[in-house]
Amino acid sequence: MSATTAPVWTKTRQQPGALARLFDNKAFLIIVCLAPAVGLLMTFLTYPLGLGIWLAFTDTTIGRPGIWVGIENFEFLMEDPIFLNSVFYSVFYTAVATFGKFGLGLWLALLLNQHLPMKSLLRAIILLPWIVPTVLSAIAFWWIYDPQFSIISYLSMKMGLTEGPIDFINTAWPARWSLIFANIWRGIPFVAISLLAGLQTISPSLYEAALLDGATPWQRFRHITFPMLMPILAIVMTFSIIFTFTDFQLVYAITRGGPVNSTHLMATLAFQRGIPGGQLGEGAAIAVAMIPFLVFATLFSYFGLARRKWQQGESND
């Protein structure tokens, strides 16, 4: 009698449907995930930027569409002493304020990186200038700089240092330096906390080895701290330059570009010409003229990071 084997039934796997195959497609998933972000960027960034560039080449005013005039707005600005003064002061303001913030911010970061009592509380207090809204701090500085109500003028007269009030914001260069000081005060926390975070990523063993070799504090800073901080230095300096160069609230709230247009930054002048002045085309041209400076700041960050990668033996992809 021969033995018979029972047939084995296997369930055939159903082929995935069109929808399942579509969601298994990596390219489709990338497009679906990126579409909302791309849509938001196109709506709130690309469109305003494109419209601003278009307006810069027209003579549009408030209430009138305007026509294409080519580079006439830029030719006019090249002969406008107020615009040229705003370019000079924007570069001067950005350079002095950025170096001031980095010098004091780096010193503060190195100090906070030491073993200090109540270190956490000190870090929280240092963040206060950055947390306070810009307009509120600008109004506080406006009171400090006001010739009649300035606390600095009051104390200096009480101590006999001056015979009358100090005029901070009604003459050109005192007003310029006063704005730079206010910007440095407000920007130090951002630089200090960012550099402090970078300092805490440096291995203590590097400093221990340097101490064993007899390195001085300056040599440890020069050969260990500064090179290891280069990537974050490049990024923080780039953001600091961009934030400072495009500053608007602080300057406009304290001086509104005065006295006699001497403290206008390009951002405040673009607003004044475009909105209160009604010359949208001219204001847009001033704003577009800021783009090369911002591109330079971005390239600075890129080459700073590329240099650090080269030092570590990585490729610059």
Q: What is the pLDDT of residues 91-113, one digit of tens each?
A: 999 999 999 999 999 999 988 88
Q: CA 82, CA 85: separation in Å to the nearest integer?
A: 5
pLDDT of residue 132: 86
Q: CA 104, CA 207: separation in Å to the nearest integer?
A: 23
Read off the tokens for 209: 């080895």
Q: What is the mean pLDDT of residues 251-257?
A: 91
Domains, the chain, with CATH or none? 28-56 (no CATH), 81-311 (1.10.3720.10)
Q: CA 75, CA 61: separation in Å to the nearest integer?
A: 18
pLDDT of residue 7: 61
Name the 3-class secondary structure at 61.
Answer: strand
Q: Is the pLDDT of residue 42 over 70?
A: yes
Q: CA 109, CA 191: separation in Å to the nearest integer?
A: 8
Q: CA 54, CA 73: separation in Å to the nearest integer?
A: 12
Read off the tokens for 297: 């700041």
Q: Is the pLDDT of residue 315 over 70?
A: no
Q: CA 228, CA 203: separation in Å to the nearest integer?
A: 10
Per-residue pLDDT band at 283 (split at 50, 70, 90): very high
pLDDT of residue 8: 60
What are the pLDDT digits (tens) for 231-253? 888 888 888 899 999 999 999 99
